[in-house]
Amino acid sequence: DTGVSQDPRHKITKRGQNVTFRCDPISEHNRLYWYRQTLGQGPEFLTYFQNEAQLEKSRLLSDRFSAERPKGSFSTLEIQRTEQGDSAMYLCASSRQNYEQYFGPGTRLTVT
Amino acid sequence: QQQVKQSPQSLIVQKGGISIINCAYENTAFDYFPWYQQFPGKGPALLIAIRPDVSEKKEGRFTISFNKSAKQFSLHIMDSQPGDSATYFCAASRVKAAGNKLTFGGGTRVLVKP
């Protein structure tokens, strides 16, 4: 499978705990994007990387959120001190520069 | 600020019929308009996309119509099949100036009845 992969697919955590998600993009893609999708809504942009550089962060990305893409390969998204409002599907997408974005299957986060 | 408005929220169509979903955008700097299909529990899958230098693009049973002056674009699904039952999202972006980050519409849930 050469598509975008995400791990884990599902995560249930208690409020206040930290969680980390991983995204592996399509291998030749230099752009990697994170989006968040709540139930019944369209995805919302969180942040994106070009190679290892994080070029933009949305206002949705509070101080509790941090994303990295070491060596321009896989990326991680960490949420510290989770809140119930963080419950959502976290989607990763990758692309070659300004070309089409291909999404992974997402990580469904439930904060209890 | 909802920059891309999508309608209807849901629609039911008979097998073999035409599904039509409309989107309107506000930012005239948008220059890339893709449509995504999403099944429950899955990530969005790119269906078809258009740039504003053309008014229509067709790929198989899927057609995008684009009206730059009205700032509107639509997706037509011809000969709808039960397997097309999914949620469809339009999106828009500025390819070069803003990293091509996508702004999505609210989605349309399509149900194709056999």
- Tens of pLDDT, residue by residue over A5-49, are 999 999 999 999 999 999 999 998 999 999 999 999 999 999 999
B102 SS3 class = coil
- Residue A57 has a CB neighbour count (10 Å cut-off) of 16
Q: Which of B2, B100, B109 to mutate to test the interface with A (most CBs of A within 10 A)?
A: B100
Mean pLDDT calculated for residue range A60-73: 91
When mean pLDDT is compared across A21-25, A69-73, A97-101, the lowest value belongs to A97-101
Mean pLDDT across B19-33: 95
Give the three-class secondary structure for B19. Answer: strand
Size of interface A-B (CB pairs under 8 A): 60
Inter-chain touch A42–B89, beta carbons under 8 Å: yes
Which residue of A6, A42, A48 is in closest CB contact with B106? A42
Chain B residues near residue A41 by CB distance under 8 angstroms: 106-107
- Burial readout A75-112 (b: 16 or more C-beta within 10 A, e: otherwise): bebebeebeeebbbbbbbbbbeeeeebbbbbbbbbebe
CA distance B91 to chain A (A): 9
Under DSSP, the state recorded for B93 is: B
Nearest to B100 among A4, A44, A98 (CB): A98
CA gap A62, A59 in Å, rounded: 7
- Nearest-Å Rg of the Cα atoms of chain B is 14
Residue A22 near residue A15, CB atoms below 8 Å: no
CA–CA gap between residue A46 and residue A43 (Å, rounded): 9
**Euclidean distance between CA atoms B18 and A103, whole angstroms:** 27
Q: Tokens 């999202």 label which residue?
A: B89
Higher local confidence (pLDDT), B1 or A54: A54
pLDDT of residue B2: 61
User: Does B48 score more than 60 pLDDT?
Assistant: yes
